[in-house]
Amino acid sequence: METQVIPANEGLHLAAQFIRDGQLVAFPTETVYGLGANAEDAEACRRIYVAKGRPQDNPLIVHIVHRDVLSDLMRGTMNVQAERLLQEFWPGPLTVVVPSGGHISSVALGGLDTVAVRCPSHPVAQELLRLSGCPIAAPSANRSGRPSPTTAEDVYEDMKGRIPLILDGGPASVGVESTVVDLSREIPVLLRPGAVTLEQLEHFLGPVMLADDLTPVRSPGMKYRHYAPRSPVQWWDTDDVDQALARWHKLRMSGLGYGLLASERIGRALRPALFYNLGDNDGAAAQNLFTGLRKLDRDRPAAIIVVWKQGTPLGRAIANRLAKAAAPNSVGDANDQ
Ligand code: AMP
Ligand code: MG
C-alpha cells in the first residue's frame, strides 16, 4: 500500500472521506499523532490493531468533536465534579474512562464495558472529527512498543506501507500522550499521567488513586512494554553535572558509543558524540522526549542515556514514560502502544 503524506490543510477532506470509508488516517493532535478509524465501524477498528501490531485486549481512546457528544457514548451521567473537570480541560489532553453505552464498536473497547473518551484541541483533529461526522478511535500512530510519534516523519517511519494517509500538521505541542483518568469507579483512578496533572485532577475530583498502587492491572495497556527504542535506554534521575559526568566517564571506559538525551547544560559537560537536547524545563522535555529517543536510536548506540531529574507535576508524566522505555521487556514480546 502506498502511504501518502499530505499537509493537513490540503488533505482534510480526503482524510474525512477515508475515515467514512472505513480506512485509517494518521493525524496530528496536541499530544502525539493518532492513528484514526471510525469508532462505530468494527472492521475499520480492526485495521488499527493490524497496522500497529497491537494486542486486541488493549482498547482504543475514542475522540469526539465536542463535550456534548460524551453523553451519547456513556451509560449513566457524569457527576458535577466531573462535569467541571471537563469544562476546564476539554478540549485538551485529558481522557476519561466511563461506563460505555453507545454505538462504539466492541473491537475498539477491547471487550471492556467501559469506554475511554477524549476531546482533542488540535485544530486539525477538530476539523477531521467535524468533517467525518463520527467518533474516531485513535491510539498513538506508532508500531506497538515503539515511542509515540510527535511528527509526521515519525509516523511515516513506523507506518509506511501500512496505512494510506498521514496528515502532516507539524510537531505535536505537548509531546506525551493524554492523561487517562478512570471515572467509572467510586474513587477516580489515574491510569496514565499526562499534561493534566494529578494535582489538577484532585482540585476538581477530590482524592484520586494512582493505578501504580493497584493490583491487578486496571488499564489493559499498562501491562505491556512501551515507548522502547531498539537500543536499550538508561535513565539517570539527576540534574547534578558532576554526578552525571562521573557516571558518564565510567560508562565510556567500555569503549562503546552511547547516545545522550539531556539538557544542553549536561550535554556541554559530557560532550558525547551523539546528543539530542531534551531542553531545560519539563514542558520542553515532554515535547522532546519521544523525538529524541527516535533520533538517537537511528544511529543504534550501545545505549541511550537519559539524564533528567523528576521534580514538577508534569514530571510525573515524563518519569512514567521513561521508566517504561528503560524497563526490561518483562511481558515477553507483547507490546502496547
Ligand atoms: P494509546 O493507545 O497510546 O492511545 O493508549 C491508550 C490507553 O488508554 C491505553 O493504555 C489503554 O489501555 C487505555 N484505555 C483505553 N480504553 C480504556 C478503558 N476502557 N479502560 C481503561 N483503560 C483504557
Ligand atoms: Mg500509544
Q: Over the stretch 268-321, which tens digit does the pLDDT of each residue have?
A: 999 999 999 999 999 999 999 999 999 999 999 999 999 999 999 999 999 999
CA 198 – CA 196 distance, rounded (Å): 7
Per DSSP, the three-state class of 150 is coil
Phi and psi at 251, nearest 5°, equal -65, -40
In a mutational test of the pocket of ligand 1, which residue from 33, 56, 60, 190 has the highest number of ligand atoms less than 8 Å from its CB? 60
Query: What distance in angstroms lies between residue 277's CA and the mean position of ligand 1's atoms?
Result: 30
Give the right CATH number for 233-325 from 3.60.20.10, 3.40.50.11030, 3.30.365.10, 2.40.100.10: 3.40.50.11030
Instruction: Indicate if the alpha-carbon torsion angle 130, 180, 107, 146 is positive or negative.
Output: positive
Closest residue to atom 17 of ligand 1, CA basis: 116
Among 115, 93, 95, 90, CA closest to 39: 115
**Host H or E run for residue 129:** helix 123-132
| 4-210 shares its CATH topology with 233-325 | no
pLDDT 10s digits, 105-151: 999 999 999 999 999 999 999 999 999 999 999 999 999 999 999 99
Closest residue to atom 12 of ligand 1, CA basis: 221
Among 32, 15, 33, CA closest to 24: 15
Per DSSP, the three-state class of 192 is strand
Distances (CA, A) of 212 to 136, 224, 229, 310: 28, 14, 23, 17
> Which grid cell is 124?
486539525
Residue type, 252: R
All structural domains of the chain with their residue ranges: 4-210, 233-325
162 close to 47: Cβ distance less than 8 angstroms: no
CB of 191 sitting under 6 A from ligand 1 = yes
CA 51 – CA 156 distance, rounded (Å): 12
94 close to 30: Cβ distance less than 8 angstroms: no
Atom of ligand 1 nearest to the CA of 178: 4
CB of 58 sitting under 6 A from ligand 1 = yes
- pLDDT of 155 strictly over 80: yes
Query: What distance in angstroms lies between residue 216's CA and the mean position of ligand 1's atoms?
Result: 16
pLDDT band at 330 (very low <50, low <70, confident <90, very high): very low
Write down the mean pLDDT value for the chain.
93
62 close to 39: Cβ distance less than 8 angstroms: yes
Closest residue to atom 10 of ligand 1, CA basis: 221
In a mutational test of the pocket of ligand 1, which residue from 29, 52, 61 has the highest number of ligand atoms less than 8 Å from its CB? 61
Q: Domain 4-210, CATH 3.30.420.40 — does that match? A: no
34 close to 139: Cβ distance less than 8 angstroms: yes
Which residues, 6+ apart, have CB-to-CB distance to 269 below 8 Å?
Answer: 241, 244, 245
Mean pLDDT, residues 148-159 taken together: 98
Closest residue to atom 23 of ligand 1, CA basis: 219
How high is the pLDDT of residue 334? Answer: 35
> Which grid cell is 55?
494486542
Closest residue to atom 21 of ligand 1, CA basis: 219
How high is the pLDDT of residue 212? Answer: 72
What pTM, to 2 d.p., does this model score? 0.93
Q: Which residue has the cell 475514542?
A: 62
Query: What distance in angstroms lies between residue 139's CA and the mean position of ligand 2's atoms?
Result: 5
The pocket of ion ligand 2, defined by CB under 5 A, consists of 139-140, 337
Atom of ligand 1 nearest to the CA of 116: 16
